[in-house]
Structure 1
């Protein structure tokens, strides 16, 4: 009975060997296959660029012929297949494809066992793991991944040497004629150009004569005198030629030191620095220093201190609000970050709430920054006073009148148009920042809320509500910066500081001592209308009458003067008591003289609802 052809692979067959080592294993198989099928299998492996494994198949079914085989040799008339395969397959799909190809090539009958093919596919699809160079030593002399420094062995190539040697093997690309088309280390040659000869290349290009320079100086002086004109690009102009240089006085060296003392036989090697060279010069120097000290101390005294000759040794810390190092640090942050600085002033007292130190600082160190003066709370001042202050302040900086209110504002459109103009002038920048600075409680945060028509900043009718600076977005190109209130040290008395709104009234220990100044500054008829008091002798009498009319009494019917005084100061700071500083008269206004305050109807603000009701009833009865 003819035995069916069966193809089996014994477990003892070696599928892989290492270079330099021989492999000897016993190989036993049953029933031979056709040589054509063996050749077709080898052809398939070579066609797919497969690496070689050395494996052995003995195709004799008789077990008596099985004996040890040599590496890659033939024994007798037995046929062996010597083939190598290292499949670089990444997915099971590729493995299945190879399985189907091997199955179709071998053409094994259906009745045959296919135990060889799966084993062969599984063995050949194993990936060979890459060995990592753990020792760190290069595998060959042209390995670039080697240490370049002290770690290199003596006589070994460094990484730089390997790269240089590899560079020698690089060849440029050439065409058929031998012309170089591309080279990795050669830049592209630009086509040669011809420059047209012209005599203008050899003469002066930017020349100005003395007449033109004088004309430019006059024009620059006239432009800078106008506060509404500005130079957009000062760096592109020869400002050193256009500005007038102040002539420095020559130092008279002979007056300071004679020629004989510096040169000659009586010369002094080092002139001693003495405060006085004699008794008379010492007396003169002592007298001059005493006069300077007395004048300085006299300037520091206020009017009240000059009258009684006394002053407080230490002022309370509450009167130094807005002068701390932290507050000034916040101010300098805002100034550094701003392109335009808006100084907010109280329209009732613009000169009193103005920071001259900040203006001087901007002129000296930030000449490229622009300043705008904003008269806020103009609704508490008559129109003629606002107009006079605008004329006066516009000579120094661009000045605008403003009334901060989210619903009913004044001057909002003018301020927005000015800020848009600045954003157009600064077209080189992506966006501009506008900083709002000024005294406490002048309405900086309220102005920002008015521009945004939204409560974006925390506001309150008390000073010191804003603690730190903050950024607010107005448009894509304009950002607003809110700043805490800043006060510069000056000669203001404690009463002036309280009436300017720098100090919180609730923190005052004795508020009644400031009422006398309020009665001096406010007209009598305004106080009579506001508090319904006909006449008073002094501030104490006024406070007692106010306590009785409003019911501010203590035990035993004694008037609470402290509460009444704080109520008056609150009304002063919040604008319920009419008060303003009139603008100074100017010579240019003689032809167009402003009307006096008596002829103008001033706004009467009354906090008493009863008086307002009586006034409306009287008006109705008159009709």
Structure 2
């Protein structure tokens, strides 16, 4: 006889829904970010919640879930076992006023900026006085509750002070998830050498000077700046950036790197990025002064270098399991047991996971274009005595504009509420109509008095060229078109590569092009360098 289903009363259903709401409130209110009002940049936290922070936030579920209603959580996952959203990126939501201000640029005539106006330095994005939240002082005999209370309070006060000190400037949407900062603290504590990975197209917008002074000058850590995705820009620009960083930060070592060097000629093939890896080993040897023998690492690179491309592993190779490491503070012993520990730090979507795969010559960590894909740091052994730690992407406090954050991938394009405004930012720096061979929609209208390009017209023309129309009215789908143009820029489409230059680059361009280092960088870029091969065909990118 089949089992009969058990009756589920309305009272039980009510209790079930209440339990789900309480669980959701617990996830949202664990003190990992602070909301901001629409009319002020200062965090908005009720007196009751401030009292909870002072006391330790022992029971955040008892507070209202509206506490974090002004916080935007990226890639929010419903339900699931445990706290699946623990390490999600968290930013403050844009106010309606900010969005409307950007929308005003949709129909403004576009004026192209000169090449010299694209020459920028670190102070443009990181003015004096900016900093990142450091781990507060701690003692070994602290309980977990005391440590959590201390770190929550410290982080809240940091956010309040930062917004107050820079109330007259437009701060970027920096990370508001305390759990992610805890990951950074632990990685910096346990690492002997730190790789600061930046997108070679926008290096000074992703390299905080205060990170250099904190880690190098104060903590005496070795730091290597990795200019990833260097295959997307001319070698002369890479040479210029090397000169700039060496002069600006004397103790900083700079290594150009191309993760795409590790991809074979057929899509899905993966091999080691040998040229960049060898230069990375050389930089590490300069910092450790023989404390660890890196011969086995070099031998592995040379061995992988000689393997035929057809023998390389597929991009779908099985990935290793995440190793969740306790983020509580610990005292680090340098080169413990003869092992060199290398930590990676960088913004979301700069290619940290791709770089690790290219160093290994096989897929060991998953790769995604979605910002914040790596949830918590993982440890991977390159060799028996070289350990690599992959830290989640972090958006540091800066004055980087929202549009630039979208273009280098720290904010997902799918969640941009004003993609046409971001296209306006690109169009002022790249001649999009000429590159994409667009035809102005008003050209055929003989009565049109003004045929100058605007961001809206560019999106409309691209939509018509690609055949994107709305279902209801049959009008050009400008939103889909704008999103696609932004993705072309983000993914490094051969014809839409936006990049900034170091100061005085235009004036000294000839010297940088003739520099001997330019030829070495071409070897690192390999056959995948596309900076001199303009194309207007729609790309079909492999994973980067």
Pick the structure with greater CA Rg.
1
Task: Give the alignment's TM-score, normalised by structure 2.
Answer: 0.50
Higher relative contact order (CA 8 A, sep 6+): 2
Task: Give the alignment's TM-score, normalised by structure 1.
Answer: 0.44
